[in-house]
Chains A and B, each alone.
Chain A
Amino acid sequence: MSPRVCFLLFSLFLCASCETTSNIKKSVAYKGIYEEKPISILLMPPINKSTNVDAKEYFHSTLLVPLANKGYYVIPPFLSMEILKRESAYDAELFLNDPIVKFGEVFGADVVIFTIIHSWNKTYGNVKVEVEYIVKSTRTNRILFERRGAINYNTTVSGTSGAYGALFDLVLTAASTIATKYVDVARICNTYTFKDLPGGKYGVLNPLEPDELSGKKVFTANLNSQSK
């Protein structure tokens, strides 16, 4: 095989492994976000329709970081949880199809994010999660963006390699808890889903961003602890 063919095949392999985008520009996929330019986000407690009783907490505790890293002001989760409980608004499902203007008045939130965990199934070395995210405006009550993913997370992949790496992994596996691993599953799902979200007020300004291709509205992905 000639070097030219080798190079072409290798380049195709690299590109294929990164193929996660749709053919739709962000300016179209995120039209509502660009129009309303939200600054602050309220995270509703996730709606858990899966059989894993802890899935709600796995997702709730891992939503702040990816959204703040995109430059948004995220209403502090523990503080908002306290207010939601006091206002009898902790059950997010009750508000999924109702007007949410009140959340803007109480929290100053521009948008509310609903997370629905449809399923969480584990097999040896894998966790399969189906999760849906709905970003809804408190000003106009319209859905600005929604995305649904079927994620297959490989729990056997870790960050080290080689003989010492294998030994380290063994020690790490023995020492770490199942909960920590599952927090990582939720973290990766959230990070992957919001990685192409347009940057917020505190993010890095990129004038070319609206012309970039967006991620898919409905996606499937094979991820592990190394995924970004």
Chain B
Amino acid sequence: MNNLYVFSIFCLLFTSCVSKKELYFWDKYDVSSYLYLKNIDEKSTQDLITTYEAIISRQNEIRKVVPPGIYADYGFILLQTGKTEKGNLMLQKEINLYPESKIFIDRIIKIQEK
């Protein structure tokens, strides 16, 4: 009977320690986006770009696709740094992956073209 108690306690501990897989991989998105939001300088922009590239290239979580908003914000920052062709390509990738983004991405493209 004692063995049963030990086994039960082990199971309780084990189930409370198992880490669940997330839908997406985020690298250090929270900190990078905070520093960009706060500073918007060359260093924080480059750091955020590096984070976006890591997120795009290392998706091995449940969905195995790039999370919502990443292609779009990455593309938007590329456009702002003069990388128009790659920026537009990223915006298009966001629309392809998440069709609900088309409405505001079309709007931002129009704003950029003015």
Q: Are B63 and A58 in contact (CB under 8 A)?
A: no
Contacts of B33 in A (CB 8 A): 61, 64, 77-78
- Contact with A187, one of B16, B23, B30, B70 (Cβ below 8 angstroms): B30
Q: Are B34 and A204 in contact (CB under 8 A)?
A: no
Q: Are A108 and B68 also in contact (CB < 8 A) when A68-B23, A69-B23, A82-B76 are? A: no
Q: How far is the CA of A187 from the CA of B29 in the complex (A)?
A: 11
A interface majority secondary structure: helix
For B, the interface residue count at a CB cutoff of 8 angstroms equals: 41
Closest to A182 in B: B34
Q: Are A39 and B72 in contact (CB under 8 A)?
A: no
Contacts of B108 in A (CB 8 A): 79, 82-83
Q: Are B12 and A11 in contact (CB under 8 A)?
A: yes
Q: Are A107 and B31 also in contact (CB < 8 A) when A71-B23, A74-B68, A203-B23 are? A: no
- Contact with B34, one of A7, A39, A58, A73 (Cβ below 8 angstroms): A58
A162 interface contact, C-beta 8 A: no
Contact with A along B73-96 (1 / 0, CB 8 A): 100110000000000000000100
Q: Give the residues from 19 to 48 in chain B that come closer than 8 angstroms, CB to CB, to chain A.
A: 22-24, 26, 29-31, 33-38
Q: How far is the CA of A18 from the CA of B16 in the complex (A)?
A: 10
Q: Are A107 and B37 also in contact (CB < 8 A) when A11-B12, A76-B76, A79-B76 are? A: no
Contacts of B1 in A (CB 8 A): 3
- Contact with B29, one of A3, A60, A65, A203 (Cβ below 8 angstroms): A65
Contacts of A77 in B (CB 8 A): 33, 69, 73
List of 7 A-B pairs having minimum Cβ-Cβ separation, nearest first: A76-B69, A108-B103, A61-B34, A76-B72, A76-B73, A61-B33, A78-B73
What are 19 A-B pairs at a CB distance below 8 A?
A61-B34, A62-B30, A68-B23, A68-B69, A72-B68, A74-B68, A76-B101, A77-B33, A78-B77, A79-B73, A79-B76, A79-B105, A83-B107, A83-B108, A106-B103, A107-B103, A107-B104, A108-B100, A108-B103
